[in-house]
Structure 1
């Protein structure tokens, strides 16, 4: 896949959904021996881990780190593209000293440009985390 097509495909959004669900699924693996985690990984990552309680629990540290990274990345994209909504979220709304200021249009343009650039980068970051998850927790067939 060409590098610029990835953000326009469904792949990064399926990975994001799996990475957001991975912590509860890993904890639930203690009860169902990883069956739900296996189904979710099969549907969203196109690879299925072996169903075991230990494998599900071992995924928790990586899942927590991934959850923080994915949350930070997508929040950064949203807050930069939708720069004017920051005061509604309790953030500083002063744009005169912001990058692109002293006008709101300039500050929004500069932040939106950064947000779009970050949006093009985030799918590749999440692709790396998904590959790491598969490498650690999916047993190769054979």
Structure 2
């Protein structure tokens, strides 16, 4: 009887741990499953639409090469990133295009992405790039 109870508890523990492993893998897969378009950035005194009057920043994750690329509103960028579970950090942006950008949002985006230390995907499928527990940027899946 004791052996059956011990066996049952062991099987339940294995099942629960395997479910949480699947959940973590699925979150990582969600990063690379879309191009993400910014819909919020923290800490600015200028309205979001004023920062990004023509085009919003976008980010695409390549989990195979640990690189991101996208636009910082009007210029393209590319950078390395590292991730372990929910922690994430971004390297210096590599070659970018050199177009003049209106609104000042490009610099705000590039400064903020360097500060990010973790991410989450909320119940609505939105990507939050956080500093500590504070969401600094929020992205939705792009329709493009």
TM-score for both structures, normalised by structure 1: 0.27
Q: Using structure 2 for the length normalisation, give the TM-score.
A: 0.26
- Structure (1/2) with the larger strand percentage: 2
> Which one has more relative contact order, counting CA pairs under 8 Å at least 6 apart?
1
| Larger fraction in helix | 1
